[in-house]
Amino acid sequence: MEYLIAVTLFAISASATSGPNNLLLMSSGVNFGVRKSVPLLLGICVGFAIMLLLVGLGFGQLFQCFPELHLIIKCIGTAYLLYLAFLIARSGEMSGATDEQAKPLTFLKGALFQWVNAKAWVVATGAIAAFTSVGDGFYTQNMIIAATFFFVSFPSVGVWLLFGSMLKKVLTSSTRRKVFNYSMSLLLVLSVLPVVRDIVFQIMA
């Protein structure tokens, strides 16, 4: 249960915080409305879940050949996630989406976008490295992580679409933006704490 809570907290903080996916959806929601932007939302959520599975399969093969690599990557990934939490807490003004789109992005474009999304790569590799362990349970954990992100991402990312214009106006307030950023940063730190404890136990064992 503790494991699932940690993964869920991480999925919420990673999905709900500002990033390319959320800015795309916010812009699409403002310009085209919710109904026309649903394919983009589905593409992002399904595409990232598939990306997690494929990244996990690749890591699984590496970890079987080099078991010590898992702890190294877990340490690096956890350190970066904590650094990401720091950046979220210190983040300033949100940057809006760039140019207005002539039409909303499709399901396929939303799914393929994950493979060129730097934040998606950081989150995927960080999640697999931090929340999996070497052994027979690796692929089960990989499935749990992908499924958790799939279900959590719909409300977490979808809120940027559903309330895109309103959320954008709310977050232009310096005080409210800070409260939001600190809350997401705290969720990220809380999700990493069990992993930090696991790393300490592995090193001291």
Residues 27-44 have pLDDT tens digits of: 777 777 788 889 999 999
Query: What tens digit of pLDDT does each residue of 44-85 get?
Result: 999 999 989 888 888 667 777 777 777 787 787 778 778 777
Closest C-alpha to 15, from 36, 35, 44, 38: 44
- 197 versus 43: the higher-pLDDT residue is 43
The predicted pLDDT at position 132 comes to 81
- Please give the average per-residue pLDDT across 196-200, as a whole number: 82
Rounded-to-integer distance, Cα 202 and Cα 182, Å: 30
Closest C-alpha to 17, from 158, 124, 113, 157: 157
- Residue 140, judged by CB atoms within 10 A of its CB (0-12, 13-18, 19+), counts as exposed
Q: What is the mean pLDDT of the chain?
A: 79
Q: By the 8 A CB rule, do 139 and 56 touch? A: yes
**pLDDT band with cut points at 50, 70 and 90 for residue 171:** low
- Asked if residue 168 has pLDDT above 70, the reply is no
**pLDDT band with cut points at 50, 70 and 90 for residue 150:** very high
Rounded-to-integer distance, Cα 10 and Cα 82, Å: 11
Q: By the 8 A CB rule, do 34 and 162 touch? A: yes
Q: Within the chain, where are the H helices?
A: 2-16, 20-32, 34-65, 67-90, 107-113, 118-130, 138-162, 164-170, 174-204
Helix, coil or strand: residue 57: helix
- Asked if residue 124 has pLDDT above 80, the reply is yes
Query: What tens digit of pLDDT does each residue of 134-144 get?
Result: 677 878 888 99
The model carries a pTM of: 0.68
- Asked if residue 18 has pLDDT above 80, the reply is no
Tell me the domain boundaries of the chain. 2-204
- Asked if residue 95 has pLDDT above 50, the reply is no
- Asked if residue 154 has pLDDT above 80, the reply is yes
**pLDDT band with cut points at 50, 70 and 90 for residue 169:** low
